[in-house]
């Protein structure tokens, strides 16, 4: 059980953030997963909203595909997959711009340590 606690505390330093002082598009992702696993949805979204979006999108897509296989004429999933990917990309870009705006212009760090 001690090894599990050690693994849980492992985190990597973002090289982009270390060099520039700005957040990279993925900054906060690991912390978002940790807080989501602990049940704190608000902090998970604050750290990185893509994590919760991914969980919801994968669960929804799994249910849709399961129900589609039961039908006589299965659905075509390609268009929906493209839309989900574009939404995910938009979340990453908007999150990246917003966090760096808050950090640089407002002086507010939205990624507090765990």
Beta-carbon contacts of 36 under 8 Å, excluding residues fewer than 6 positions away, are 44, 51, 52, 55
Q: Is the pLDDT of residue 83 over 60?
A: yes
pLDDT digits (tens, 9 = 90+) for 19-36: 998 999 999 999 999 999
Residue 101 has pLDDT above 90, yes or no: yes
Q: How many whole angstroms separate alpha carbon 42 and alpha carbon 49?
A: 9
Instruction: Answer whether 48's CB lies under 8 Å from 95's CB.
Output: yes
Taking the domains of the chain in order of start, what are their residue ranges? Answer: 12-106
Write down the pTM of the prediction: 0.82
């Amino acid at each position: 059980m001690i090894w599990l606690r050690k693994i849980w505390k492992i985190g990597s330093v973002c090289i982009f953030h270390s060099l520039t002082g700005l957040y990279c598009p993925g900054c906060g992702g690991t912390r978002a997963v940790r807080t989501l696993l602990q049940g704190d949805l608000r902090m998970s979204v604050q750290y990185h909203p893509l994590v919760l979006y991914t969980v919801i999108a994968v669960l929804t897509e799994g249910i849709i595909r399961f129900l589609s296989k039961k039908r006589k004429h299965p659905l075509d999933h390609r268009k929906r997959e493209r839309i989900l990917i574009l939404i995910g990309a938009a979340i990453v870009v908007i999150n990246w711009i917003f966090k760096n705006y808050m950090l640089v212009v407002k002086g507010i760090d939205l990624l507090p340590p765990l």
